[in-house]
Structure 1
Amino acid sequence: MATPNKKKILNDPVYGFITIPTELLFDLVEHPYFQRLRRIKQLGLSEYVYPGALHTRFHHALGAMHLMGQAMSTLQSKGHRITDAECEAAQIAILLHDIGHGPFSHVLECCLLDNVPHEEISLMLMRELNRQFGGSLSLAIQMFEGTYERPFFHQLISSQLDMDRMDYLNRDGYYTGVAEGAIGAERIIKMLDLVDDQLVVEAKGILSVENFLNARRLMYWQVYLHKTSICCESMLIQVLRRARFLIRQNGPDPVYAPDTFRLFLRNSVSMADFQTNRLYLEAFTKLDDFDIWSCIKQWALHPDLVLSTLCQMLLDRKLFKIMLSTEPFQGELLHELEKQLRQDGFTAETISYFLIEGQATNAAYLPSGDRIAIKLKTGQVIDIADASDLSNIQVLTNIVRRYYVCWAKGISISQSVS
């Protein structure tokens, strides 16, 4: 039998032809854990705003792997010793960095699990894959965790100028049609260098980094924190909150859910649960967006009017209204909105599902974190905030908060709901 060709070339709409360079990387892409990412959209419910935003975590992970390969080539071309094993490990780490995402990516992270970030699940799955592949991922895991002796690998995987951000800004801008997402990733990568095994950007790349930071700020407000996306996500969270309440009440009307999904609706699953009971991790690897949508379609027919109303509104794109402010909302406004909802038939118990407060935050650059270091022609290394002459660079370092309130307007519901 002929040996299968595992060094594949893929046609990516953002970068053109990209290569899966090693057999191990190919086998990881083919693994069911990674194939699940085909069924998880990169931008959750952003398609309700930008109809083209239908790309997946699978696309993004492959793109980040491609950019990591370019970064390795750039650093090697500048005389830095990077072995083939290190190159492969870095690409494995970035390929698998999002493997722990659940359905709808970030949207459900807060309500499907009990304070378990997707990065921790990614690490657990990488360790499981390492077991299945006979320890071949050990170096990649060290890089992912930041315990490897050469810190620049972790910086390329997770920092304020990593391959993850470079790909998602490019890719999300492309699929949404928001031109501000274009960051010139290829030029930034060409400007990368190392000083004492720490990642730096050559001085002639300052303008590209400034563009990258501006693009990130604009993409957050125009895409990731778009007011309509906030509405959709708030509604989806309330759908799951209601379904979880009904399932735990164990009432006379059953709430449909696949066993793997029901496990997380019925139980508050913490990190300790993942670590002590293999059942939770295996169930998690079976979940994707399709599980949630199939439930939403079923729940739209459920006798509980809170659950069915929210689900039908999402299916029909009849969304909550939203109001944004730079200051917290006053009590008078919230009381007035509650009064309107009561007039539409909502009870004290049901109002909380149809009137939601929250806040969104955005900071393009945090100097207190892993800084973006610029190497001047003199060899001195300074922070981008000090190297840039961009007038608003300090503005980009501020954490901007926007407060919002979402509510159902013009929707009537029976007083009998309890």
Structure 2
Amino acid sequence: MAYRDEKLDEEKVFKDPVHRYIHVRDRVIWDLIGAREFQRLRRIKQLGTTYLTFHGAEHSRFNHSLGVYEIVRRIIENFREEPFWNDDERLLCLCAALLHDLGHGPFSHSFEKVFDLDHEDFTRKIILGDTQINAILKRVDPQFPQNVADVIHKTYFNKLVVSLISSQIDADRMDYLQRDAYFTGVSYGHFDMERILRVMRPKEDQMVIKESGMHAVEDYIMSRYQMYWQVYFHPVTRSAEVILSKILHRAKELYFANDFQFKLKPRHFESFFEQEVSLDDYLKLDENVVFYYFHIWQEEDDEILADLCRRFVDRDLFKYIEFDPADQYQQLIELKESFIQAGVDPTYYLEVDSSSDLPYDFYRPGEEEERLPIHLQLPSGELKELSRQSEIVESISGKKRTDHKLYFAKDLIDQLPDNDVSKQRIYDILKG
């Protein structure tokens, strides 16, 4: 029997708090889960620093990746007898779903910003490079690793396959909304996924939803909207991300300083500082390793690095206020000057952070492909864009919401003498 068709002697199951069970029967999928590059995802948190806000959010990219695989597996089961579906694409869809987050690094997006990296690039490198994952995929077919990478990169010719894991209603989003809601303990991310799966239909270039399932999709869209503003953009989480990025920037600055020597040489970070990151270096740096350095750096001779690491490890985070840099640009300049006069470095203890989200968008020519709209299939077979049928979705469609916060080390200002002019000036500005 060809490797692509090989089945396990008996079905393997993972007990899962969100989907109850995750079913694996394909030998290829089982082997991929056992590969070292996939097992590494156990050591990467799904929600980065969110555990400092919601203490249950300790789940990993490993959990989420299995969940996305399971949702795609269920979708394909429902598609089997449908026109427009080619079951030869089944294994490709399952592998792409399982491996879609393979390239995430420690603390994911915060880490990427500091070092100007893209986890999707590393997902591609892991799939196509000298890895256990690549060796397994090649056993299916020499072209198979490239096909998997193309699906994840959204360049695969069959757009229906791409839409299963990357669209405005895909398996990726359906898993992380429910999984993140479960582990954070909030109610916002829950929606009737079973109903959505039952009313999904394959078309030439994307999944569509039967009109009878519109209300379930409305619920999904609103769940996503609420999760972004109540969980993903929570200001306490963002405060932790600000400190995390400050630590990495400070460590990089000290690495290139001629007059500073680390007590523990930051060997795992060197290629990141030098911007010459090999795939091997990238795979060796997980969150356990990063935390080890943060613990050690609390004892470094540089006061700023030591203090920032202590804050992160002990959850002594920056305070925040509402602050719009466009309207309050002059105040920001004055704040930085006052921080300097107070002996507090604004580069590391003052930061404006902005978050924005577009919960749903209709089709806009020239925009990125994942913004293809959700279509409803009417009983006549005609397709209608979701926001044209749903007043709820129409009310938020195409509307980008942005939130700005100013984060600062309030304790360092508080400890200044009350008669300190710069202290008084800082609080005058902050009070507006």
TM-score (norm 2): 0.85
Aligned-partner SS, 1:137: helix
Residue of structure 2 aligned with 1:97, choices 100, 105, 109: 100
Aligned-partner SS, 1:174: helix
Specify whether residues 394 and 326 from structure 1 end up closer, same or farther in structure 2 by C-alpha distance, changes over 3 A only: farther
**Structure 2 matches for 1:238-387, cutoff 5 A?**
238-254=246-262, 256=264, 258-265=266-273, 267-269=274-276, 280-325=278-323, 328-335=326-333, 337-338=335-336, 341-342=339-340, 344-346=342-344, 350-367=345-362, 368=364, 369-387=371-389
Aligned-partner SS, 1:285: helix
Displacement of 1:69 in angstroms is 0.3
Specify whether residues 332 and 81 from structure 1 end up closer, same or farther in structure 2 by C-alpha distance, changes over 3 A only: closer
Displacement of 1:337 in angstroms is 3.7
Paired position in structure 2 for 1:127 = 128
> Does the Cα contact within 8 Å between 1:261 and 1:291 map onto a contact in 2?
no
Specify whether residues 249 and 255 from structure 1 end up closer, same or farther in structure 2 by C-alpha distance, changes over 3 A only: farther
Aligned-partner SS, 1:111: helix
Paired position in structure 1 for 2:80 = 76
> Does the Cα contact within 8 Å between 2:45 and 2:60 map onto a contact in 1?
yes
Tell me the alpha carbon deviations over residues 305-346 of structure 1, each in whole angstroms, 9 at most, x when there is no partner: 111111111122111011124673514543554466346532
Residue of structure 1 aligned with 2:167, choices 139, 154, 159: 159
2:197 corresponds to 1:189:
yes
Counterparts of 1:170 and 1:206, CA distance in 2? 19
Displacement of 1:176 in angstroms is 0.3
2:217 corresponds to 1:217:
no
Specify whether residues 341 and 77 from structure 1 end up closer, same or farther in structure 2 by C-alpha distance, changes over 3 A only: same
**Structure 2 matches for 1:112-123, cutoff 5 A?**
112=115, 114=116, 116-123=117-124
Aligned-partner SS, 1:183: coil
TM-score (norm 1): 0.88
> Does the Cα contact within 8 Å between 2:12 and 2:25 map onto a contact in 1?
yes
2:113 corresponds to 1:110:
yes
Amino acid at match of 1:101: H
> Does the Cα contact within 8 Å between 2:8 and 2:25 map onto a contact in 1?
no
Paired position in structure 2 for 1:168 = 176
Residue of structure 2 aligned with 1:51, choices 41, 51, 55: 55
Paired position in structure 2 for 1:37 = 41
Paired position in structure 2 for 1:87 = 90
Amino acid at match of 2:211: A
Counterparts of 1:360 and 1:137, CA distance in 2? 35
User: Is 29-38 or 357-366 further displaced after alignment?
Assistant: 357-366
Counterparts of 1:102 and 1:6, CA distance in 2? 34
Counterparts of 1:291 and 1:408, CA distance in 2? 27
Specify whether residues 326 and 383 from structure 1 end up closer, same or farther in structure 2 by C-alpha distance, changes over 3 A only: farther
> Does the Cα contact within 8 Å between 2:295 and 2:313 map onto a contact in 1?
yes
Specify whether residues 53 and 30 from structure 1 end up closer, same or farther in structure 2 by C-alpha distance, changes over 3 A only: same
Aligned-partner SS, 2:343: coil
> Does the Cα contact within 8 Å between 1:6 and 1:22 map onto a contact in 2?
no
Paired position in structure 1 for 2:206 = 198
2:417 corresponds to 1:410:
no
> Does the Cα contact within 8 Å between 2:105 and 2:111 map onto a contact in 1?
yes
Counterparts of 2:313 and 2:302, CA distance in 1? 17
User: Is 129-138 or 204-213 further displaced after alignment?
Assistant: 129-138
Specify whether residues 108 and 252 from structure 1 end up closer, same or farther in structure 2 by C-alpha distance, changes over 3 A only: closer
> Does the Cα contact within 8 Å between 1:372 and 1:384 map onto a contact in 2?
yes
Tell me the alpha carbon deviations over residues 68-106 of structure 1, each in whole angstroms, 9 at most, x when there is no partner: 0011011114455432x4211101001111011010122
Tell me the alpha carbon deviations over residues 151-174 of structure 1, each in whole angstroms, 9 at most, x when there is no partner: 111001111111111100000000
Displacement of 1:32 in angstroms is 0.8
Paired position in structure 2 for 1:67 = 71
> Does the Cα contact within 8 Å between 1:328 and 1:403 map onto a contact in 2?
no
Counterparts of 1:167 and 1:131, CA distance in 2? 25
User: Is 242-251 or 49-58 further displaced after alignment?
Assistant: 242-251
Counterparts of 2:351 and 2:45, CA distance in 1? 25
Displacement of 1:223 in angstroms is 0.8
Tell me the alpha carbon deviations over residues 350-404 of structure 1, each in whole angstroms, 9 at most, x when there is no partner: 22110011211011012232211111112111211112132x6332421111112
> Does the Cα contact within 8 Å between 2:127 and 2:145 map onto a contact in 1?
yes
Tell me the alpha carbon deviations over residues 36-60 of structure 1, each in whole angstroms, 9 at most, x when there is no partner: 1000000001011100000000000
Tell me the alpha carbon deviations over residues 212-252 of structure 1, each in whole angstroms, 9 at most, x when there is no partner: 11111111111110010110000100000000000111434
> Would you say how many aligned residue pairs link Structure 1 and Structure 2?
395
> Does the Cα contact within 8 Å between 2:323 and 2:352 map onto a contact in 1?
no
Counterparts of 2:145 and 2:333, CA distance in 1? 55
Q: Which runs of 5+ in 1 are unaligned?
A: 275-279
Counterparts of 1:254 and 1:381, CA distance in 2? 62
Paired position in structure 2 for 1:277 = none
2:215 corresponds to 1:207:
yes
Paired position in structure 1 for 2:148 = 140
Specify whether residues 223 and 286 from structure 1 end up closer, same or farther in structure 2 by C-alpha distance, changes over 3 A only: same
